Amino acid sequence: MEYNTKIIGRKLEQNLLAEYCETAKSELIAIYGRRRVGKTYLVKQFFDNNFDFCFTGSFETPRITQLKLFKNELERYSHRKWQKPKDWDEAFNQLRDYLSSLGKERIIVFLDELPWLDTPKSGFLSAFSYFWNSWASTVDGLKLIVCGSATTWMLSKFIGDKGGMHGRVNRQIYLRPFNLCETEQFLESKNIDWDRYQIVEAYMTMGGIPYYLDMLEGNLSLNENVDHLFFDEGAALRTEYDFIFRSLFKNSKVYRSVVELLATKRHGMERKEILQAMKMDDGGMLTEVLDNLCKCDFIRRYAAFGKKEQGQIFQLIDLFSLFHLQFVEKSNGQDTRFWSNMQDNPRRQAWQGYAFEQVCLHHVPQIKQKLGITGVLSEVCSWACKSFVDKNGTEHKGTQIDLVIDRRDETVNLCEAKFSVEMYAITEDYAERLKSRKETFRAVTGTRKSLHTTLITTYGLKRNKYSQVVQNEVTMDDLFYS
């Protein structure tokens, strides 16, 4: 199978689908990833909607209605009448009878939004398990592709099932959001002609979520687009944040509470701090919530420099959530030009600085490529310390470094991100701060490795008498590497 040129990026995923679908045996392929990331689009475009059967679950829809819809689709594909199934066992028996009649070397079945079919007491998962184990898995050339946005359900109840589906998913594909390169290509395909500064701003607002990016209109400026999508009366994305959590997590209030707590702590929190702030018992619930949020790309779990497991920190990294909590939730809905009117507001500028740091965290492979260390084994971590006085009586101020690249070639990159509308000029005060930070890092960690101050900017570093304090430069353009 060749690449579908309508699909932006996703070359690895297309390769995997082609590889799995060209085998002679049966394959159960599970595709998962956060909501709106493009799972359905990928499958339908890759197969050009050429399925032998396709069915999509409906959100918060009763079993009896789902079964009726299933029957309707079965009749559409088979061109014959079927009795309405009384349960999922009967529905899958009907599907088996239909697929058995096809007599084809390769059969493609696509079941989308699988978690939404598994309603309480529906018996869906046990019926699906029996259908696959007793028949579908024995049919050479049958390719059953399933998708689900509820990543936690896909990983715990389906891919990681301890019951009838245990070990049955022989292929799985995790679909990530677009990176900046793919975002640029996607906007170009929509004839949106923005420079990279604007593309980065759009990314900081929406992340690399294709569904949101597809809503952007080329005849509007970025500010106008954001106003239209978030702040107009009836704006399409104003209520999206609430729906994401309701559709992904059963106990959505707890998940939202954790995300909203982490949104107030720029550099993240340790688990014990979250427990204390949430006033939760030290049981397994918080561990499960944090794990699931990590799996869904809402937060990241990272260790401080020199530490592996102890003191792990959880940080909110979902750019769409950050934007919503910072601006959309706090707006009263009265100003339909809210974002345009915030153009020079210090609050927006502070958000830009932090959001650009998050963009950098999303593009560590591109940063490594620019530094020429793609082939060097390295660990990405963070580091922070409080004010202290060392044994020589030198006072060190507290500091935080969000991105530290600890390399096996005896070098550590201490990365600093700066979002600017022009080339960034280092002042005397800032140069001293960078020097002090490096000294503090060495004093606290005791590392003997070379320390490289690495500056990541939009338009590069302006040369002056203080710029030599920086050993490595990465620009916005470098983040657009494929």
> How much is the mean pLDDT over the chain?
90
pLDDT (mean) for 274-298: 86
* Domain residue extents for the chain: 11-174, 178-362, 363-480
Alpha helices per DSSP H over 217-270 = 222-226, 240-248, 252-262
Q: Which residues contact 19 (CB under 8 A, 6 or more apart)?
A: none
Confidence tier at 261 by pLDDT (50, 70, 90): very high
Residue 443 has pLDDT above 90, yes or no: no
Does 363-480 carry CATH code 3.40.1350? yes
Report how far apart the first and last C-alpha atoms of the chain are (Å, whole number): 22
**Which percentage of the chain shows pLDDT scores above 90?**
68
Q: In this structure, how many other beta carbons lie within 10 angstroms of the beta carbon of residue 475?
A: 18
**Using the 8-state DSSP alphabet, how is residue 331 labeled?**
S
Angle at 36 between CA 116 and CA 148, to 5 degrees: 30
* Contact yes or no for 451/414 (Cβ under 8 A): yes
* Contact yes or no for 285/254 (Cβ under 8 A): yes
Residue 163 has pLDDT above 70, yes or no: no
**Using the 8-state DSSP alphabet, how is residue 178 labeled?**
P
pLDDT (mean) for 339-363: 93
Calpha distance 316→263 (Å, rounded)? 6
Residue 1 has pLDDT above 60, yes or no: no
* Contact yes or no for 294/301 (Cβ under 8 A): yes
Which region holds residue 38: left if phi is over 0, alpha if psi is between -120 and 50, else beta?
left
The model carries a pTM of 0.90
Calpha distance 188→325 (Å, rounded)? 29
Handedness of CA 474, 204, 177, 255 (dihedral sign): positive
Name residue, tokens 């005791």: 446
Position 61 scores a pLDDT of 93
More confident residue, 303 or 277: 277
* Contact yes or no for 318/326 (Cβ under 8 A): no
Alpha helices per DSSP H over 329-427 = 338-341, 346-361, 364-371
Alpha helices per DSSP H over 47-153 = 63-78, 88-100, 124-134, 151-153
Residue 191 CA: distances (Å) to CA of 41, 170, 383:
20, 39, 42
Give the architecture (CATH level 2) of 11-174: 3-Layer(aba) Sandwich (3.40)
Residue type, 474: V
Lowest mean pLDDT among 13-17, 281-285, 383-387, 408-412: 281-285
pLDDT (mean) for 42-53: 95
* Contact yes or no for 286/275 (Cβ under 8 A): yes
**Which percentage of the chain shows pLDDT scores above 70?**
97
What is the topology classification, in CATH, of domain 178-362?
A: Arc Repressor Mutant, subunit A (1.10.10)
| Residue 136: both structure tokens together | 């579908």
Position 165 scores a pLDDT of 65
Residue 42 has pLDDT above 70, yes or no: yes
Confidence tier at 167 by pLDDT (50, 70, 90): low
Confidence tier at 266 by pLDDT (50, 70, 90): confident
Calpha distance 227→217 (Å, rounded)? 12
Q: Which residues contact 324 (CB under 8 A, 6 or more apart)?
A: 230, 240, 241
Please give the distance of CA 361 from its chain centroid, rounded to a whole number.
Answer: 12
Residue 25 has pLDDT above 80, yes or no: yes
pLDDT (mean) for 450-462: 96
Please give the distance of CA 403 from its chain centroid, rounded to a whole number.
Answer: 18
Write out the E strands in 282-359: 299-302, 313-316
Name residue, tokens 């209605």: 65
Confidence tier at 82 by pLDDT (50, 70, 90): very high
pLDDT (mean) for 106-129: 93
